[in-house]
Structure 1
Amino acid sequence: MTATAAPRAPKLRADATRNRERIITAAREAFVEHGADAPLDEIAKRAGVGNATLYRNFPDRSALFRAVVLHVKTRIVAHAEAALADRSDPFDALQDFVHAAADEKLGALCPMMSGRFDPFDPELVEARSRLEGTVTELLDRARHAGALRPDVGAGDVFVAISQLTRPLPGTTCVNFADFVHRHLQLFLDGMRAPAPSTLPGRAITFEDFQHHTDATPGA
């Protein structure tokens, strides 16, 4: 599938806006549960709209993918900003963000992000920039407070979130989702300073993570 860029949507009426938001929410749930090939008819049914309304808002699957990815990234930014504003303890703020971001099921949506969009799409670029800035601030605050080990980068956080929220193949592993937050806390405890060990390799940056999720398959 070739990368596509979408212009900023024109301002919609209130009822049209609600329909669009319901479609995006339903699509996110369907893609998490069934993958990128979830039937569009089922998404329209979940959203409580007709197929014509879905296609009027999103003329093809790529347009819907883009809207869902932008929606999720915007929500993750909001979680980071809330953690910065609500928590005085820097490591508590980081923990709050990681657990909230995991609930967005980023790992389940990673296959939708690879090679499907124009890397210079203005809205996606803006969302990436805000995400990188807020998460970097969370890490810097914890690091400057002496609570975060120095060899951890923003990409390490997103790799952990993505891997722990990525559905595993087969039917016997479906209940692993029940343990995501338990294992995220183990990961977070391992990020605390002082570090009991030296990590192999180097800290993963946000750019490293973004390169792998945005790369064209096979590149």
Structure 2
Amino acid sequence: MSSVTGTADPATRRPARPRADALRNRERIVAAAREMFVESGPDVPFDEIARRAGIGNATLYRHFPDRATLVREVVVSVMSRVAADAERLNGAEDDPFQAVRRFTHNAAEERIGALCPMLSGGFDREHPELAAVRDRLEGAVRALFERARSAGRMRPDVEVGDLLVALSQLTRPLPGTGCLDMDRFVHRHLELFLDGLEAPGRSRLPGTAATLEDFRPRRA
């Protein structure tokens, strides 16, 4: 029974929503971390991320007490945006192969290949939040492929994994090399690759298609 003052029972009280300024700070941290991970890799110092985000170190640690939590948030954020774009494009283009093209170039802008170095070591690939967004992304991209293949617009001997390999290789930064300003060639080379996906195929591909299972961590 509630008290005479009308105070709600703690057992039924809803959790307080994060304040708007706290949400903005979290978004700024994730955006700054993504930029710096792309530029310098996942080991960039936290104080540099805080400086880029325009917040104090204490605020950063209040949202993300350790590096693993921040890395996971960045990965989930990028994958969520890419998945949402694939879902949108699947019904937005009359030509299903054009939807694949637009998705590929949009994913390149997200620098999705920069996620790869962050998924090594002790990174928990099976964290529930990450597993959920990965399943969503894989389903959305598979739907794009199946629609294009059903329309006879994509060659039958390629799979989603082939596209992910190309995106990973073309959008992963190469720190410490002499290959400066290579980003200006990414979209040009993606178009060359996409021409190879389009039906009819002009050559016989060696080996087997890369499937999504090829990207699953190997279990002991």
Per the normalisation by structure 1, the TM-score is 0.89
**Of the candidates 111, 118, 143, which is equivalent to residue 105 of structure 1?**
111
Match in the other structure for 1:153: 159
Distance 1:169 1:43, change over 3 A: closer
Match in the other structure for 1:181: 187
- Any unmatched runs of 5+ in structure 2? 1-15
Shift of 1:208: 1.1
Q: State how 1:82-161 maps to structure 2 within 5 Å.
A: 82-161=88-167
Distance 2:90 2:156 in 1: 20
Q: State how 1:59-70 maps to structure 2 within 5 Å.
A: 59-70=65-76
Match in the other structure for 1:3: none
Match in the other structure for 2:79: 73
Shift of 1:171: 4.1
Give 4+ residue runs of structure 1 displaced > 4 Å after superposition: none
1:24 aligns with 2:60: no
Shift of 1:131: 0.6
Give per-residue Cα distances to partners, 1:163-194, cap 9 Å, x unaligned: 00112254421211110000000000010111
Match in the other structure for 2:8: none
**Of the candidates 25, 31, 50, which is equivalent to residue 56 of structure 2?**
50
Shift of 1:32: 0.2
- Contact in 2 for aligned 1:107/1:165 (Cα 8 Å): yes
Distance 1:191 1:109, change over 3 A: same
Number of aligned residue pairs:
205
The CA RMSD over aligned residues, in Å, is 1.7
Distance 1:85 1:11, change over 3 A: farther
Q: Which moved more, 1:176-185 or 1:115-124?
A: 115-124
1:36 aligns with 2:42: yes
Look up the equivalent residue of 2:86 and give its one-letter code: A
- Any unmatched runs of 5+ in structure 1? 1-9
Q: Identity across aligned pairs (percent)?
A: 60
Distance 1:63 1:132 in 2: 23
- Contact in 1 for aligned 2:40/2:175 (Cα 8 Å): no
Q: Rg larger in 1 or in 2?
A: 2
Q: Relative contact order (C-alpha < 8 Å, sep 6+): which is higher?
A: 1
Q: State how 1:154-169 maps to structure 2 within 5 Å.
A: 154-169=160-175
